Amino acid sequence: MSKARLEAFSDGVIAVAITLLALDLTVPEPGHGELLTQLGDHWPQFAAYAVSFFTIGIIWVNHHARVSLIVVVDRTLLFLNLVLLLFVVLIPFATATMATYLTGGGEESHIAMAVYAVVLEGMALSFTAMFEWSLVEGRTLVSVPLAQRRNARVRASIGTLVYAAVFAVAFISAPLALALAGVTAVYYVFAPVPHIGIEAEVDQLTSGPL
C-alpha cells in the first residue's frame, strides 16, 4: 500500500465532504417574502457552513502534516484513517441538523449542537489515534524524542478537549457552542506550528524549497 494513494483517497473524500457542506444552503423560492430577509433568516446555515468549512480545512492540514512524515503504511493505519474519514463525511449531515435547530432554542437546539460536537469529537479522537500510532519508533521519518512525547501528545489531543467543551457548552447555548467551535477553527489556522503538533522540530530537518 503506497502512501501516495492513501493521501490521494483521503484528499478526495475530504474535498467532496467540504464541498457538500454547501448543499445545505437552500435557495429561497420566489413568493416566500423578501429575498434579503429570507437570506438573513438563514444566517445559521451560513455561520454553520463557515465553521464546518474551516474545521474540515484544519483537519485536512493536520492530516497532511502528520501523514507526510509517515514511512510505514499498515492495516491498522488504514483502518484508523477510514474511521477518521467516516466522521469527516458525517460533518455535512451534522452541520445541516445543527443549523436547522440552532436558533429554535430550548432542548432541541442543545441536542442538535451536541450531536454536532459528538461528530467533531469522533473526528478528533480518530486523529489522536492516528497520531498515537505514528509515535511508535520507525513509523515516521523523524521520531519524537521520548522526553518530548508527553508534550506532543497533549498538543495533538487539544482538539479532543475543545470539542468536549463544545459538547458541554451546547447544553447552555447552542449559538455560543458554535462560536466556540468557530473561534477554535480560525485559531488553529493561525496557531504557531509548535502548538499543533511536533512538526516544529521536524520542520527544521525538512525545511527549504519544496
Q: Which residues bind a copy of itself (CB under 8 A)?
A: 1-5, 7-9, 11-25, 27-30, 34-36, 39, 50, 53-54, 57, 60-61, 64-65, 68, 71-73, 75-76, 78-79, 82, 85-86, 89-90, 92-93, 96-97, 100-101, 104, 107-108, 111-112, 115, 189-191, 193, 209-210
Smallest distance from a copy of itself to CB 147, Å = 25
- Between 30 and 146, name the residue whose CB sits nearer to a copy of itself: 30
User: Residue 193's CB: how many other CB atoms inside 10 A?
Assistant: 13
User: Residue 208's CB: how many other CB atoms inside 10 A?
Assistant: 6
- Between 193 and 205, name the residue whose CB sits nearer to a copy of itself: 193
Smallest distance from a copy of itself to CB 177, Å = 15
Smallest distance from a copy of itself to CB 152, Å = 18
Smallest distance from a copy of itself to CB 98, Å = 9
If you count DSSP H runs as helices and E runs as strands, how many of each does the chain have, helices first?
A: 9, 0
- Between 147 and 192, name the residue whose CB sits nearer to a copy of itself: 192
Give, as one character, the DSSP assignment of residue 78. H
Closest-CA residue to 117 (of 167, 161, 56): 167
User: Residue 158's CB: how many other CB atoms inside 10 A?
Assistant: 17
Give, as one character, the DSSP assignment of residue 30. T
- Between 64 and 150, name the residue whose CB sits nearer to a copy of itself: 64
Ramachandran class of 106: left when φ > 0, alpha when ψ lies in -120 to 50, beta otherwise: left
Smallest distance from a copy of itself to CB 55, Å = 11
Contact present, 123 and 88 (Cβ < 8 Å): yes
- Give strand ranges (E) for the chain: none
- Between 23 and 147, name the residue whose CB sits nearer to a copy of itself: 23
